[in-house]
A = this chain, B = another copy of it.
Amino acid sequence: MAKKSRGGITFPEGFLANGLFSGIKKAGKPDLALLASETECLVAGLFTTNRIKAAPVILSQRRIRTGSANAIVINSGNANACTGESGMQDALRITEKVSQFLTCNARKVLCASTGVIGRPLPIESVLDAIPKLVEKLSPNHHLECARAIMTTDTYVKESQGEIRLGDSIVRFGGMAKGVGMIHPQMATMLAFMTTDAEIDKDALKSALQIAVDRNFHTLSVDGETSTNDSVIILANGRAGNPRIMKGTAAYDEFVSELDAVCQKLRTLLIRDAEGATKYIHISVQGARSKTDARKIASSIARSVLVKTAFYGEDVNWGRIMVAIGNAGVPVREDRIDICMGDVALVHRGTGLGETQEEKAREVMKGQEIHLSVSLGLGPMTAEYWTTDLTYEYVRINAGYKGRT
């Protein structure tokens, strides 16, 4: 067994993590995670746009407004959503107890939950696990932490990176969980990023927005946005770099590396999408506006007929045309080009024939497929990632609740 060491969310200086079983999951798998910084952090977050928000989302959104935080406590196996006033009480009690053992202000402890909706948490059992959870906090326990946020994920999702800013090394870490109910606007899943950068508040907020927009917002597994989706970044300033301000070269480097860390998480998420056998990268070119390009990419990514056709390796480009036409965006049929990988399938709205379809069928046999759509209307582009829709997706989601 490899020696435990720092990595993922504890790759940057001054972060500690842990995870354990607290009695939520029937199977006894880890279900309670804690990420903490040795010193107070600057914090930024983005949360679900679903009108129905879980208690931990409401609480974290409120606390993030203070601009700083020390820790995030996360449970899996139970979403603590649609749990009414007692759900909010549970979230308050959990963060309160964590803050006592961390000896920080309760308002500086954020929280997140993921799992089945509408069930009360086994709160006493969760509270009982907190002392041990805090006691074993360590930079070496990032894997335990990342494992304890998983639901139907089949592997841990971690990411890390670093940049040099002058004399300082600035580090980044990340962890995420998927893998169903993934769809943009807003969020997509739970994802937590850490950095030891010293950074201005607005710069952190804007960098997170950009990284989320480029990555998690371009990912659709099933068109669902959950009650719990949260992306939070903590920055503790331990790298000792000169403070990063918006509009500087250092800011650009920061954004670029955060983007890379999120991109890695996005790739891990899409590859673990429920029941998926294929990963489809959709790029839309030639749109009049970014919004138009996104709407069309999203419409293709959400179409169950397109997704089942990919599963069947069926070169049914007509379904792609249908999805383009359904996006609610003006298009000119006679300007649309479609390529599957490098194979041109449709030119100016009409099919290029059986030979090309035969070649495209070969492309579709791959696991990673690039689908390119050109609208011929303007200069704007968008990218999206989606998966095929499979028997396995239906199997997982027809019986999920029973298998918690």
Interface residues of A (CB under 8 A from B): 50-53, 79, 81-84, 116-119, 180-181, 222-227, 302-305, 308-309, 311-312, 314-319, 321-327, 329-331, 333-334, 346, 348-351, 389-391, 393-395, 397-402
Contact = CB atoms under 8 A, between A and B. Distances in A.
25 contacts: A50-B322, A51-B327, A51-B331, A79-B318, A82-B318, A82-B321, A82-B333, A82-B350, A84-B348, A84-B349, A116-B316, A118-B318, A118-B321, A118-B350, A118-B351, A222-B304, A223-B302, A223-B303, A224-B326, A225-B322, A227-B322, A304-B304, A308-B397, A314-B400, A316-B400
B394 A84 contact: no
Contact of A333 (B52, B222, B312): B52
Contact of A304 (B82, B224, B346): B224
Nearest to A350: B84
Contact of A398 (B83, B309, B397): B309
A305 B180 contact: yes
B116 A305 contact: no
Given A84-B350, A118-B321, A305-B222, A311 B398 contact: yes
Contact of A81 (B222, B318, B394): B318
A398 B389 CA distance: 9
Contact of A322 (B181, B308, B311): B181
A274 to B, nearest CB: 10
Contacts of A314: 398-402
Given A222-B304, A331-B52, A394-B391, A227 B325 contact: yes
Contacts of A225: 322, 326
A348 B86 CA distance: 13
B398 A321 contact: no
Contact of A82 (B50, B83, B346): B346
Nearest to A119: B351
A84 B334 contact: yes
A74 to B, nearest CB: 18
Nearest to A399: B312
A314 B398 CA distance: 7
A355 to B, nearest CB: 14
Given A84-B348, A331-B51, A391-B391, A117 B318 contact: yes
A397 B321 contact: no
A80 B51 CA distance: 42
A318 to B, nearest CB: 2
A302 B50 CA distance: 16
B83 A322 contact: no
Contact of A52 (B79, B309, B325): B325
A208 B231 CA distance: 48
B324 A397 contact: no
A360 to B, nearest CB: 12
